[in-house]
Amino acid sequence: MQIPSSRISFTRSGPQYRAHSIYGGAGGHGARISSASASSLRSGAPMSSSSGGFKLSSALGGGAGAGAGFGGAGAAAASGGGAGAGILGNEKGAMQNLNDRLANYLETVRNLEQANKKLEINIREALERGGQDVRDYSKYEPIIEDLRNQIFDKIAENARFVLQIDNARLAADDFKVKYNEMAIRQSVEGDIAGLKKVIDETNMSRLNIESEMDAVKEELHFLKKNHENEVMEIRNQISQSGVQVDVDAPKGQDLSQIMEDMRANYEKIALKNAEDLKRWHENQIADVQVQVSQNTEALQGAQAEKSDSSRQIQTLEIELASQQSLKASLEDTLHNTDLRYNMEMEKYNNVLVRLEEELTNLRANINQQTQDYEALLNMKMKLEAEISTYKSLLDGPVIGSKFEDKEENAVLSLIKQLRQSNCMHFHE
């Protein structure tokens, strides 16, 4: 704490008194003035007059001044005894007046000393209170430490929130991958549906081939019957005609045998074609059945995977919604916490500003009280100086000068002690 420097000044005037004697001849011719002391008046010096002056000034608020003087004058006329008696009477009245005024001044000095003591006590208490308020910030340290710990906790909690947000982002990426897999599964299902259409078309073609085979078999059976009927008719016609033609030509081939051979040959060809067609049909059916079984297994696996993916998607969607709601609630909580701590910090800042203003006002009050104390001390020293002057008037110049030196030394030592004590209080 820095206390503005002040100056304690006092003026001390030396004993101001004058005692003059007037000596003159008859009729007042040849008169002269000479200095004399109060003892010369009391010794009865002829045709002497003395006057004394005392001046006391003090500065309370504006200022007041008082002065008192006593003196007497006489002219050297016929005799000096009556003049000396008048001067002594005036001197007693002046001394009584001065004694009364001195008692009032001493009472004022005592009151000022008591006021100075009270002011010193108030200044000391104010300095002690101001020093504690200025230096003792330990009561705010637990609050600051608690706020610092809470800030660290909020930073860690914010980091956890960021980690949860990253986890939610990764989960969303997984959802995208699952969605792409679902699109692939849908394309596989489309391929399976196309294969089912191929199987249906293959079955239709097999049925058509079977119907064609039945038609060919019926036609072959019909041709065989027609052929047999024609052969029988030709044989009957030949037997009924009874014509025998002998030809020298070599014996021709047997037509029936040729027909039998042709029939047997065609039957073999038809049987072979039927067997080949049957084998081809069976091979096609086996291939189609293998493809159908494979596609059925793939379809069942895709359906199982679809159901699993659907369940996982639903679970992850629910978890994502919960994480989003948790994130929103945590962001609201963080925002409210930031607002609350900002308000608290503003409140503490206002408290600090108010304490600084109080400290400034306290310093101003201490400075004002110090100035008042210095003014009162200056006034006290002036009063003491004027009292010493008054005492020097009463005791004479030699004794007064000695007393004045002692009083001056005492006042200077008192001022030095007061300055040292004030400096110690201010440094504390």
Distance (Å, whole) CA 227 – CA 189: 56
Under DSSP, the state recorded for 181 is H
3-state secondary structure of 248: coil
What are the tens digits of pLDDT across the range 85-129? 455 567 778 788 888 888 888 888 889 889 888 888 888 888 777
Contact 105, 383 (CB under 8 A): yes
pLDDT bracket for residue 68 (50, 70, 90):
very low
Phi-psi sector, 28: left (phi>0), alpha (psi -120 to 50), beta: left
3-state secondary structure of 59: coil
| Phi, psi dihedral angles at 16 (to 5 degrees) | -105, 105
Domain boundaries, the chain: 19-104, 143-236+261-346
Distance (Å, whole) CA 270 – CA 258: 18
What are the tens digits of pLDDT across the range 264-285? 887 888 788 878 878 887 888 8
What are the tens digits of pLDDT across the range 293-320? 887 888 888 888 888 888 888 888 888 8
Predicted local confidence at residue 407, as pLDDT: 54
The residue type of 44 is G
Contact 379, 58 (CB under 8 A): yes
Burial class for 215, CB neighbours closer than 10 Å (0-12, 13-18, 19+):
exposed
pLDDT bracket for residue 215 (50, 70, 90):
confident
What are the tens digits of pLDDT across the range 363-397? 898 889 889 888 888 888 888 888 888 788 887 54
CA atoms within 13 A on the CB side of 82: 5
Q: What is the pTM of this model?
A: 0.28
